[in-house]
Each structure stands twice: as C-alpha cells, then as structure tokens.
Chains A and B, each alone.
Chain A
Amino acid sequence: MIVEIGHYALILSLVLALVQSVVPVVGAARRDPRLMAVAGPTALFQFLFVGLAFAALTWAYVVSDFSVYNVVANSHSQKPLIFKISGVWGNHEGSMLLWVTILALFGALVALFSRNLPPTLRANVLAVQAWVGVAFLTFILLTSNPFERLDKPPFEGQDLNPILQDVGLAIHPPLLYLGYVGCSVAFAFAVAALIEGRIDAAWARWVRPWTLGAWIFLTLGIAMGSYWAYYELGWGGWWFWDPVENASLMPWLVATALLHSAIVMEKREALKVWTVLMAILAFALSLLGTFLVRSGVLTSVHAFATDPARGVFILGILTLFVGGSLALYAARASLLTQGGIFAPISREGALVLNNLFLTAACAAVLIGTLYPLLVEATTGGKISVGEPFFNLTFGPLVLPLLLLLPLGPFLAWKRGDVLAVAQRLWLAFALAIVAVAVAFYLKHGGPVLAPFGAGLAAWIMLGAIAEPMTRAKFGKEPLATSARRLFGLPRSTFGTALAHFGVGMMVLGIVSEGAWKVERILVMKPGETVELGGYGVTFEGTVPRKGPNYQDQVGKFVVSDGGTVVARLESAKRLFTARQMPTSEVALETRGLFSQIYIALGEAQDSGGWSVRMYWKPLVLLIWLGALVMSIGGFVSLSDRRLRVGAPKPARAAAALAAAE
C-alpha cells in the first residue's frame, strides 16, 4: 500500500502543479489577490506530495520490495543499506524523481521566504516554477514511472551498476541536481520579470542568493563527480572532457557569470537585461545537461535511459522552455528599463569582462560537446572532440580571465582607476614572480610554461588575500585599527576573497598535476620494488577477499621512503557477483598535505606478475580542495544577509563638493 500511496502522491503533486501553473498567472494578470495567493499553498503541498512519493520509493528500496520493477532492476537484497538508499537515484526513473523532488523543494522554499516580494512577482515566479514541474512530472508518469509494479515479483534483484555502488554516488547526483534545479529559481524570476515587463528592486535582491546557492551546489557536485571519476575509474585522470562532464560544466560557467552580473544588478541596478539573459541561459544549459544525460544521446555510464520516447519527450521540454523563454526575452527585454551607467574601467566594467570571457568559454565547451552529436546526426560519421580542442579553445579564454581576476575586486564602482589598483597590487605581483622563480628552481623537469602556471596561481591567491587586507588598511594604519577594520568588513568581502583564493588553489593543483606527475605502468611480481616520485613501492602479492555482494582480489603494496615504511596500501580488482562485472578499487595515499600516491591493480599476467598502474600526483588534492574553498566562499557570502548597495565613486567635482561641506 505504501508504494501505491507514493504513486498516487506523485499524481496529486502533478495536479497541484497544474493548478499552480495556471491560476496565479491569471491572478497576476488580473490583479486578483485571491488567485495569486493560490501559488504559495500549492507550492508547499506539491512539495509535500512529491516528498511523500520519494519517501515511498526509498522505503521500497530499503525493504527490497521486488514487486516494484524499478527496485528489481536496480537493487539487490544483499546490498549495504547506504547503497540501497543511494540506489534510489542511481537509475533513470529514480533520479528524475529526485530531480522533481528538489524542484518542488525549491518551489516550497520560494513560497515560504517570499513574503516581502511584490505579490504579482511572487505569483508569476511560482507559476513558472510550476510549469517546469508539470513538464517533468508528466515526463516521469508517462515515460519513466518508478512505481511500475510486477505481478510475479522475483526473489532477487539485478543489482545496481557496480561502479555506481560507491559513496561518491550517494552524494554526487543530489548535489549536482541541487545546483541544476537551483538555476530554475533564477530562471523563474527572469521569466516572471519578462512577463510583467518590469524588474522590481526586490528582484535583484532575490536572484543573487538563489543563484549563489545553486552555484555552491553545482561547484560541489562537479568537484565530487570529478573526484569520484579519479578514484573509481582507475585511470588517474580527474577531468576527461566527457560530454556528461561538459553538461555540468556549462551551467556552472554561466551560473558563475550570472552570479557576477547579479552583483552588479543588486548593487548598482545595472546590467538588468543581460542578467535576465544569463538567468535564462543557466537554466537552459541545466536542461540541456539533463537532456544529454537522460536521453541516452551519449553513451556512457550516465546514460541509463535508452528508450527513444524519453529522449524525444525531454527534447520537447527543452525546446519548449528554452525556445519559449528566449522568444519571450526577444519580445519583452526592450521593456525592461536600463539602470545605472558606469565607465568602462570600473568594477562594473570588470564584471562585464568576466561575463564575456565566461560565456565565450561556455560557448567553446558547448560547441565541443554538441558538434560530434551534430556530425553523427547529419552524416552518420563518428568524430570525437577531445582534450586538444578544449585546450586550444577553452584555455585561451580562461587564461586572461584568471590573469585579470585579482584586479576586479580592487576597482571602484562606477568609475575606477587602473593605476591605483596596480599600486595596491604590485606586492602580490612581485611575489607571484618569486613563485615562478621558486618553481623553476624546485622543478627542473616538466613543461617550460608550468612554473608560469604556478606563478599565475600564486598571483590569484595573493590577490585574493590582498583585497581584504587593503580594505582594512594594513600597513597604513596601526595594526590594532587595521585588525578592527578587518573584522568589521562585511562577510561578502571574505566570501569573494575565499572563492577567488579557491580558484588559485585549483589552478595550482591543475598545473602541478598536469606538469609534474609521475606515471608508471608495468608488470610487477610479488616482492618487486619500483621507484615512484621519490618513494619505493613494493608489491607484496594478492589475496582474495569476500564482501557482502562482491569478491575482491586485493593487491598489497608497501610504500617506503628511504627505507622506512610509510604506508601499507591495498588496491583491489572487485567482481560484483550479481552482474558479474569487475571494477577497480584504487589505493590512495596522501603524502604531504595535498599530494597523492595512486595505485590501481590491473590484470594478472601469465608470468605470475600483475599489471599495475601507479601515479605520483603532486598537489593533486588542491584541485578539489580549491573547489571546496570556492563553495565555502559562496556559503560565507550567502550568510551575509545585508542589503547590498555598491557605493559609487563620485565624479571629481562632486567629491570636492562633498569634501567641502
């Protein structure tokens, strides 16, 4: 009965979403407060019912109810509890249910916290959210129903795809979906503004925190996915320019742009039209990501769905929302009044530059992702666009962005002074040059440009630290005064500094891992020792071991540094018995703070040895820690709930006047 209640709850939430998508819009158009008021409760109860449906499906997984087809296809009674639960969204139907659950959650949150919004805006925003909800709930019920039942339930399930049986999977999709779906809030605000033909003051105050929230989760989700690929796939790489990864990177790039343009909007009421466009594009790319992953257009681990009906349905949703919103934008954007003006060299100008580079980089990724699909669709030929393409397009677009990044926060609003900024940043720049020299001295091997990459990372990190320090006037006023000023700075300043510092950490990790890693692929016999990045790695042989639903062949390794044993590692080939599918369990040992030894056990060889892949990856952890620091910066900024007013730098005459008063 619980399963059927979940099924009915899902249908009821669709019915509520239908009401929510029509009645408030009519109310807003006719200024009828009662009709507009329908939006809030429907959003709350829609979430209640979707949540109930999700809970019912989770229950079916936990108790291994094999009368539910979805459970049979993706679970196994012997699976550990955590993977029974994560299995709920480890498949197409369940993950779509998670998608709408999060969508409904955001709708409910908007309804709860929007008392101070103008009622028409609130009604329209919630209605637009409901449109998305209707589309996806219909999609689930008609093509991907997770509550399908079997008359003759089997006694055992087919198990979850083994490489998805991992803690990484328990966390990665929910984080990513929080990000994807979070973009729908900004989208709903943008479309609502276009429907009304005006942007309220509250609009800007609302869009930025929602975007920031979505951006935080996107950042964490992508980083988590990247780390998962790093330790689970056993190839030692952390980013493959795989279309599925690109699908998550594109909304991130646009959300980052949106985040920055929303700052301009909130503080200075400028860039309104552009911000609306960014909000639409961020969600459009989230939908595109969902389409690419869910439709089975791409063949990869992620493409659970292979039924073409689903692909066509999602393509329909995509066309409807992207096409519809862009058409609306074309028709109505001219109605939106432009806000404050600013000089080209100013904080606003810097943020515009940031937006241009980010959107251009996103376009490069979009082309690289979609071009092979277009070629295959039109000519039937298969081409692959890989790392070289992205290095040549994405790289040159991101490099100037990174180089200019430390300058932006130093520029004044409305009109800035590059020379003054240069004076404040010369120390950071000098230290960055020192970093290049140090990198040259320490690392003789590797590409010539690598030390400059390290210098770039230092430049970004030092610039990020310099900004709050300068604002606190360290070195200009007594230490105590500066310290007091530092603590008096708004939290959003620290958020910015942290996020930018995180970018620097990530750049350092990427440069170091790319340029100075050591790779050994060889056949090892038990007792053999090889040198790896200054450590000795001894292979001790393998032993079999049995897990709850898998069988391991565990390779034992000893890592020693100058004769002393520093770590004993186990790297395993794991065979999942239900699906007879092998996976690799990589051995990781962190040395120093951020560097890792990476060992993946390969196949047994005839000679009695085993093929082994080993890597020494200097500073590799900085890649993900950088992303973590970026999202912590986001959280810090989000916790700052003050109103934001960007104090403009007045023109000289006015300044003199003000001083004279």
Chain B
Amino acid sequence: MTLQEVARLLEENHYISDEKITMSVFLSISLNKPILIEGPPGVGKTEIAKVLAKALETELIRLQCYEGLDVNQSIYEWNYQHQLLYLKMDESEKSLEEKEETIFSEKFLLKRPLLQSISKETSPVLLLDEIDRADEEFESFLLELLSDYQISIPELGTIAAKSIPHVILTSNRNRELSEALRRRCLYLWIDFPDFEKEKQIVEQKVPQINKRLAAQIVYFMQELRKLRLQKVPGIAETLDWALALSNMHFDALDVKIIESTLGIIIKDWQDTRLSQDSLSELFDKVKVKMKVH
C-alpha cells in the first residue's frame, strides 16, 4: 500500500486527514508498528481506528482501558465453570494428566480482546482506547504484545499472532506513559483542527447545514478555544452544535441563539460563566471574520 492509497482510503471513508496523520497511518501499516495517538479530547483520535477498520475492511477490536483493568479482562481467562462441569460430566477412565491436558486447552480459554486480536486470520484493527487510564502494570503486560505480537499463557505456552493486528493506542495525557511503551510505538499528536479543516468536517458530517452557518459556527468555536477554558470543546461538540442548530433550521448565528444553546458546547460552570461574559465580544470577532471571508 502506498502513501497516496492511504490518503485516498481515509478520504473515501470521510476522515478529513492531514499529512502528519496520513504519514503515521501509512508508516504504521507498512512497518507493522502500533501508533500512539495523543491529543486533547474530542479531536478524532478514536475515530482513526474506526475509519481504518472500515477502510481496510477488517474487524475492529476495541479495548476500553480503565483503572484496575487486568489480564483476566484484557488478555484471557480460564472458563472455570466450564472446566468444572466438564470434569464432573467426564466419567471416562482418563488419567489425571489427560484430564488436565483437556481442561487447559484452547476450548476452555475465554479470549479477551488482546488475545482475540492476534488469533484472527486477517489482521484486525486493535484499538486500545484511553491507555492512560489503565494502571502502569497493565502497560507492562502490553509490551510483549506490542513488540513481538505474541502472548504467553503459562498453561499453554506462547501464542504467536496468526496475523499482525494494526494497533492503535489513544491517550488523553491524564498520566505520563512509560518510556518503554512509547518506544514501541509511532507517535502522533492530533491538535484541534484549523478553520478550513474543521469546516470541512462539519460540512461532511452535517451535510444539510447552511454553509454560512457552518462557517460561523466554526469561527465561533475557533475563537472560543482561545479563551482560557477548563474544558476546551472539541470537534465532537462542534458537530453536536452544528447538528442541533441545523435541525432547528437556523441560517445564521446570533448572540441569543448562542446563549441558549451554550450547554451543548460548554460543560463546566466556570467556563460557562467566562464565555457568557465574553459572548458578544466573541460574536463580534466572528462577524469580522465572516466579512473578511
């Protein structure tokens, strides 16, 4: 697959990309390397994995990380109940060793996402979402998988990948990830999009929207992000807002509309107060920009 093909695939699947993203995705596919994507919330980190799975026409296996996530929930677990039932039902005269061998076979193994991802015939996309929420110990489990694409299970031995999955890790930087994990990945930082990119995204995801309204919304969001907010609204908020306004059949923004729908884009009371105070100022800036535009 060439760089241009990757760019085309992303575009066909409605992901507005830029050269950095395309390059990282391309290199990750051609070098079989995981990508670690960092960036503020709501800029489309997770979306890359979804789009990639769709573009490559393969399965998306997602593991949402959280504090306390362990091997049992992420890699594998023995199906104890099944094993017990099997032993009780098995009345044959098998030796103990034979019985043991049977119950510790793949049949009784519950495959969790990570093991699933390496036992597929065609390479799936493996998304490890919000890896910064998982404990540091869990990161260490991952190292074997990410560098050698294999998983060691004491009773069964090492299971090597049938096909190498496309691994995507996302992080909101709530915790500093270990150097070891970083070294095994390609690094990609996605920031808030600039005006043109965000407008394209809005027009693509909310096709029924009035062009003028879309531009106004995006200008407003761009200005809003320059305020010192606690929770800076991402693209997801822009899209929600655009969808809401276009469904209410507005053609243009005004201060009143913004004020009454501010809850869609701002989710923190201090931020609400701050942006309410500077609402008309922000809106004036939008008007100026629209004129220049």
The answer on A and B forming one complex is no
